[in-house]
Structure 1
């Protein structure tokens, strides 16, 4: 059955290490990465769209061409004078990554400024994906604009997917961060948090407390990712655990969670059970972390 997945957020210029001390340029960002991996595994009758904003400069032209070249629609990406995409650099140590960011004039901060455009894009979609980073980069009034439209989508029976993806340095206040993450989850039907983020920033004692907190917000489905320990799935009254896939050598953990999300949503959208979808998503994430960068070519991924 045909459908449409819409991801909302910020795509950035990515600089990663290459041979001989050089840097390699690409484009990535949490919700865009999820869209990219969903596109790899969704059938051709599903469309994948991105909603964001970029500038009118050359690097913005390159970013849009990159999206379209990978099968991701850009009709809902606004062009804004005087702005440009943000940029980040990946630093690696023993396969674990850290980042440096330059995003002060990021056009994506204005992605929710046009409420009519936002509503039209969401109403035309079956699955809507957003994240805590999406909320973190927006002005407070635009956060409410976005959440209001997502609440409408949830009430209309659409699948609204939220990855809290907590990044405290993007927020000016920890209490505001927690409040926005909570409201983001309340607007969603499916929440896909990382357990270590929830323990660190919400003070959860462990998995059960994270599950109880999100279920109390009216979330229909919950996928709690716990790195090498796998993922816990809670849908209605059913609870299951899916182990992570075995990896001999971790090269780069960038986009591990995003690729899991994309693989999971693609399988779920096409009729798999949550457990089946999570097993496939674990294989996707395992393949991704054995290569450099956020976006790994399809020929290096599991057969979809």
Structure 2
């Protein structure tokens, strides 16, 4: 069993007291890889990105490796380094400041042959809208061509600040979704940027694009899962007051893919993933210690 996740990992700064900041490493696709590895230790989970050749990049790669995440497909850039973001919290909800415009990860699609080698034999190849957004426009089609034929899993993870404009974001997200087998959207984002009225609308749009399995996350609300056109609502119970929502969707995605790879049906995988995300939002930062998840 093998999952390959493609995207950007960054230095994360989160509050540790007045004028104090704690550093770690995180990023949506890496977070998903982390939680997939935590929930299914028997699986191989590899991360594909580009980092620098400097000490902080060395620390990042060592951090990944120490967590049991494969790093052999990570490229090194000779002059760029990794990006950085800072989390600020208010009532458990996060806001971010980013420094990533010149990150090495923006060059992750420069060596497409390396990506093609990395995804060989993978049960799932995972990427997000952020993976697409950080690439130069001319590289997007090339990357999707390399991924064609793989069992691609896609989280739209709509972040308009990373895109030229909303129309470009929506077009490129749907272009990628049309190639995906599994799509893992978040209803709040889809409602905002695609004007979906219900989670069923979101599921139907991605099914119409060609995805055969759509798992619509919905924060604290009921979720919707559709497989081959058959949809069902998944009740999640009373909402939970979060400490920090950072990584909620990513942890859901990782746990969902782990459960599906282990043979669970979509509805039971969704419930297991929701339980994982509910635990993650009770702690600060994107990554919860693996030993506390099982």
Q: What TM-score comes out, normalization by structure 1 length?
A: 0.94
Where 1:234 maps in the other structure, the secondary structure is strand
Which of the residues 11, 29, 32 maps onto 2:30? 32
Aligned to 1:12: 10
**Aligned residue in 1 for 2:62:** 65
Counterpart in 2 of 1:229? 221
What secondary structure sits across from 2:153 in the alignment? strand
Give the aligned partner of residue 102 of structure 1: 99
- Quote the offset at 1:104 in angstroms: 1.7
Q: Secondary structure at the match of 2:122?
A: coil
CA–CA distance in structure 2, aligned partners of residues 298 and 246 of structure 1: 25
1:239 to 231, 235, 250: 231
Question: Which deviates the most, 86-95 or 173-182?
Answer: 173-182
Q: Which residue of 2 aligns with 1:288?
A: 280
SS in 1 for 2:201: helix
Q: Gaps spanning 5+ residues in structure 1: where?
A: 154-158
- SS of match in other structure, 2:224: strand
Q: Distance in 2 between matches of 1:85 and 1:246?
A: 39
Q: Deviations over 1:158-215 (max 9, x none)?
A: x210000000000012111111100110110000001111111112232232222111
**2:179 alignment partner in structure 1:** 187
2:142 to 142, 145, 161: 145
- Please give the alpha-carbon distance, in whole angstroms, between the structure 1 residues aligned to 2:26 and 2:233: 29
Output the CA distance in 2 between the equivalents of 1:208 and 1:41. 28
> For 1:6, what is the secondary structure of its paired residue?
strand
What CA distance in whole angstroms lies between the structure 2 residues aligned with 1:279 and 1:248? 15
How far the C-alpha of 1:225 sits from its partner, in A, is: 0.7
- The answer on whether the counterparts of 2:220 and 2:240 sit within 8 Å (CA) in structure 1 is no
2:132 to 129, 132, 135: 135
* TM-score normalised over the length of structure 2: 0.97
Counterpart of 1:47 in structure 2 is 44
Name the residue aligned to 1:264: 256
Q: Does the aligned pair in 1 maintain the 2:248–2:277 contact within 8 Å?
A: yes
Q: Distance in 2 between matches of 1:114 and 1:81?
A: 14
Cα distance, 1:20 vs structure 2: 4.2
Q: Which moved more, 1:242-251 or 1:52-61?
A: 242-251
| Inter-partner Cα distance in structure 1 for 2:22 and 2:282 | 17
Q: Conserved in 2, the CA contact under 8 Å of 1:55 and 1:83? A: yes
CA distance in 2, matches of 1:299, 1:20: 29
- Give yes or no for contact 2:182–2:212 (8 Å, CA) kept in 1: yes
Separation in structure 2 between the aligned mates of residue 255 and residue 243 of structure 1, nearest angstrom: 21
The alignment yields a C-alpha RMSD, in angstroms, of: 1.3
Task: For residues 84-122 of structure 1, give each alpha carbon's deviation from its aligned partner in whole angstroms, at most 9, with x where no partner exists.
Answer: 000000000000001000002200001011111111111
Out of 84, 89, 94, which is 1:92 matched to? 89
Is residue 221–residue 235 contact of structure 1 (8 Å, CA) maintained in 2?
yes
